[in-house]
Amino acid sequence: MKTILKSIYIVAITLFAFGCSDNSSSSSSGSTVTPQYAYITDGVELKIIDVATPTVPIFVNSIAINTSYFVSVSPNVAYVAQYDAVASYISLVDISNPSTPLIASTIAKDNTLAFSLLSDMYTVNGVGYITDTYRGLHVVDIANSTFSSQVNLGGDAMSVTKIQNKLFVIDQANGLHSYDITVPGSPAVTGVTNNTDIDTGSYGDSPFGQYHSWVETDGTFLYVANTIDKKIKQFDAATLTLINEVSIEGYPTAFAIHNGFAYVTMKASVNAPLQTSYDGVRMYDLASLSLIDMKPLSKTSGIALNGNNAYVTDSNGLHIYDISSNSFVLQSSLPIGSGNFIALGQ
């Protein structure tokens, strides 16, 4: 639902499934093309699953990436964020031949560049906007594997999305707020904020990443999967005023919006203050913010959407659901597809 990128970081072309140049890492690409592969992190490695036939997913290969948790893809590169302080910030994996993935390069965590713990990303025409749980919003040149021309803004940042020429960010300095990115590499603060309805904290879940709030959009309104009060909240994009909200009864691990519906995965945590939580995936109608369907799972942590299918990861595997009837109809499960986060690609 969303986020990551609804999944980061590029060598030569823009981020995310199907080569879209305007996409949130945690939301669906919106493409009608059937994805060929699912890319799944599990804290130990990146797994590649052939999902061209949703009823018969096939494990292709994997590559070791320590403390991997967040992933997004371009046509030839998978961008894997890593959790541990001594691990890389991002590993860039060459997936031009998915049966033989190779780590092409890594970007180290760095106090000078303020790379600490990636939480979400959005790319627009060669510019990457990365939220960092400890270091704010980064603006980077994604055509350069060294992430050159960095700008660092705001406080500890949780998630990011975009409507037209406005970038919307959740961070600890400003809550939910916006930047004008008419000049893509030079975000300008608009002065519109909401720091009362948004949870701006992050909560550790080592070695699998962080719990934090996610922001996504249907192109008109903003929706936040809020962590501390277990809600999806709808906001007016111009004023950031709260319009509607609904309890989700759990702590979001991924959030995406697709074809008028919000999808959120949740799981329980052993870390205070996050403890009791619904564990599974839920679907909400955006028109009314009403619960449409849900599926209980185990340590549910990732979702990707495309066409009529939802791809959900938990500790028991990859589960592919037909959502064409606005309900979760299981098509297949692949135990070896268990993981933390998921992205789709060709």
Beta bridge partners of 171: 157, 175
Residue 327 has pLDDT above 80, yes or no: yes
Mean predicted confidence (pLDDT) in 331-335: 98
pLDDT of amino acid 148: 65
Phi, psi of 19 (to 5 degrees): 70, 25
Residue 30 has pLDDT above 70, yes or no: no
Least confident among 16-20, 42-46, 98-102, 126-130: 16-20
| Percent of the chain topping pLDDT 70 | 87
pLDDT of amino acid 297: 97
Residue 14 has pLDDT above 70, yes or no: no
Residue 98 has pLDDT above 60, yes or no: yes
Residue 312 has pLDDT above 70, yes or no: yes
Q: Using one digit for the tens of pLDDT, what is the confidence trace for 145-190? A: 666 657 889 899 999 999 999 999 999 999 999 999 999 888 999 9
121 vs 108: CA distance, rounded Å:
17
19 sits in the region (left: phi over 0; alpha: psi -120 to 50; else beta) called left
CB 251 within 8 A of CB 230: yes
4: pLDDT confidence band, cut at 50, 70 and 90? very low
| Domain map (residue ranges) of the chain | 17-345
Q: Mean pLDDT, the chain, as a whole number?
A: 87
Mean predicted confidence (pLDDT) in 6-30: 34
pLDDT of amino acid 7: 32
pLDDT of amino acid 274: 72
Q: Which of 3.90.850.10, 3.90.76.10, 2.130.10.10, 3.40.50.11060 would CATH assign to domain 17-345?
A: 2.130.10.10
CB 20 within 8 A of CB 14: yes
